[in-house]
Chain A
C-alpha cells in the first residue's frame, strides 16, 4: 500500500476534475447530432486524433505488459510493442481510403466496399463483434485498474474496476466523442509528463545510464541491451522467425483495414478528422508518440531490472513501472503520478465506451432496426448503449477473468486467420463479401483444429506463435480464395461507385477502366507543362493527386524506417549510447523527407475530396435509409 499525503490527494483530485470537467464542457456540441456524438462532426485538426490515438492505446494494462516483455526480454522486448507500427503505412494508405469512404465504422465500410446481402451480413457480423469486443476490452482494462488500486490503496478489486470507469461514463454519456477526444488530449499531456518523469527518476535511481549498462554487463546479461539478440532461427524464446513474422504482420498490415485490433478504434479517429490530410497525419503522429512512450518505458524498465533483478513471478515484475512511480517519487508527485494513471485509464475507457456505442447505434439500431430515427433519438440510443457497455464490462471483468486471459491469445489467433483477407478487401477488386465472410467463419473452425483438437490427439505438435500464424493464414486461404473465385464479383456499378469515391490502392484495373469509360475519372492525367515528370512532383492538380504515385511509395517505404529509428534511437539515447543520437537524427531527416514529398499531394487530395464530400454524404444518408441500392 502507498502512503498518500494531503498534497497527493489534492493533485489527484485536481487532475480528475480537470480531465472530467474539461471533457464534460463539450456536451452541448455532442447532443446536436449522431455525427457530433460519434465523430465530433468530422471537424478535428490532426493533432486531436493523434493525441487520442496515443491516449486510447495507453491503457492501465499497457505498462504492465510492456514492463513484462522488457523485464523478460530486455530491449528486444520492444519489438513486441512494434505491432503499433501498422500505422506507419496505414497513415498513408488505409487512412486515406477509409476517410474518403465517409463510413462511420469499419462495419459500415463493408457495405460500401461490398454490395447486396453479403455486405449486409458482414456489416451485422462486424457490428456484433465490435460491440462484444469493446465490452471485453472495457472489462479487461477495468480489471487492470482494479489491480493497480489494490496495489496502491489495498482496495478490493471490484472497487478499482467500477469507480474509475463509472466516473469516465459521466462525461462519455454527456459529451460523447467530443468529450472523449478532448479528454484524451488533456489526459495525453498528463500521461506523457508522468511517463517521462518516472523514466528519468528511475534511471537516476539506478545510478544513471552508464551504471545501468555496466550493471547489466556485470550480471553477464549484455544481451538485454541488444534488440537483435535472437535465440536462433526458430528455437528459444526470441527466434528470428518470430521477429520477421511480427514485422510482416505489423508493417504490411498497414495496407489493410482490421489487420490490427487497434484499427477499429483508429478508424473512428480517422473519420473524425476534418480532412484526408489530417486523418493521415493524425494516425501517423499518434503511432509515433506511442513508440516514443515505449522507448521511455524501455529505459525505465531496464533501470527497474537493475534495481530488482531477481523477480521471477511475471505477476510481480509486470507491476514494475507502477512500483517505480509509487516508490521513487516524493510526496506530492505521487499524487501527480496517480493522476496520470487515472488519465490513461479514463482515456481508454471513454474511447471504448463511445466506440462500442457507435457500432450499436449506427450499424445495428439505425441500419437494421430504425433507419428513420432522428438525430436526437440516435444520440439518446448512443447514450443508452454506452450505459449497457459500462454495466456489461463490470460483469465481464469480475466473472470472466480466467477466460479473458486466454481470450487475448485467442484474439491474436483470430487476427491470424483474417489478416490476409483484411488486406485483400482493400487492394484487390475481385475479393468479395462471401470470400471475406468465409475467412472469418473458417478461422473459427481452423483455430479449433490447430490450437486444440489436433494437439490434444497428438496429430500436431504444439506450435510456436509465429508458426501458428502462418499455418492459420494458409489454411484460411484454402477456404476463402476458392470461395471468392467460385462466387460472383461484386456488381460493377457498386465497385465503380466505391472506386471513384475512395480511389483505393492495388489491383483495381478493371474497375478503373470502367470508371474511365463512364467518364467519372480521367485516364492517366499528365499536364503538358510538367512533362517530363519531375523525380518528385510537388505541384498537383486535383485529378493527378487522386492516382497513387512514387511519392506515395516513398512515404510508405520511409515511414516504418522512421518509426524503428525513433523507437530504438530514443531508448539508446536515454542510455547515453551514441548510436541513439544518430538513429534519432536519421528519424528526423526521414520525417522531414516524408513531409516534403507527400504533403503537397495530401493537400491536393484533401481539397478535391472536400469539394465533393457533401454529395457523397447525402448519398450515404440515403443508403442508410435503404432508399438507395447498397
Chain B
C-alpha cells in the first residue's frame, strides 16, 4: 500500500482514541453543569 496513505490511516486511528476521550469529557461536562 502507498506509504503516505498508510501513514495517514495510522495517524487517523491514533486520533480516533482522542475523539473518544474528548466525547467522554464533553458528556461529563454537560452532566455536571
Contacts and interface: CB of A to CB of B under 8 A. Distances in A.
Interface in A94-123: 117, 120-121, 123
Interface stretch (A317-325, A333-341, A444-452, A518-526): A444-452
A410 B21 contact: no
Interface stretch (A128-136, A221-229, A306-314, A560-568): A128-136
Contact of B14 (A126, A364, A367, A407): A407
Interface residues of B, number: 30
A410 B2 contact: no
A410 B27 contact: no
Nearest to A367: B28
A125 B14 contact: no
Interface string B1-33: 111111111111111111111111111110010
A128 B22 contact: yes
B18 to A, nearest CB: 4
A457 to B, nearest CB: 11
Contact of A131 (B12, B15, B21, B26): B21
Interface stretch (A67-75, A398-406, A503-511): A398-406
A127 B21 contact: yes
A124 interface: yes
A440 B18 CA distance: 10
B15 to A, nearest CB: 5
A403 B10 contact: yes
Interface residues of A, number: 38
B24 A407 contact: no
B22 A452 contact: no
Contacts of B27: 368
Interface in A432-488: 440, 444, 447-448, 451-452, 455-456
Contacts of A117: 26, 29
Contacts of A125: 18-19, 21-22, 25
Contacts of B23: 124
Given A120-B25, A125-B21, A410-B14, A452 B32 contact: no
29 contacts: A120-B29, A125-B18, A125-B22, A126-B21, A128-B17, A128-B20, A128-B22, A129-B14, A131-B21, A132-B14, A132-B17, A132-B18, A133-B14, A367-B25, A369-B28, A403-B10, A403-B13, A404-B10, A406-B7, A407-B10, A407-B14, A409-B7, A411-B14, A413-B7, A414-B11, A444-B15, A447-B7, A456-B4, A456-B5
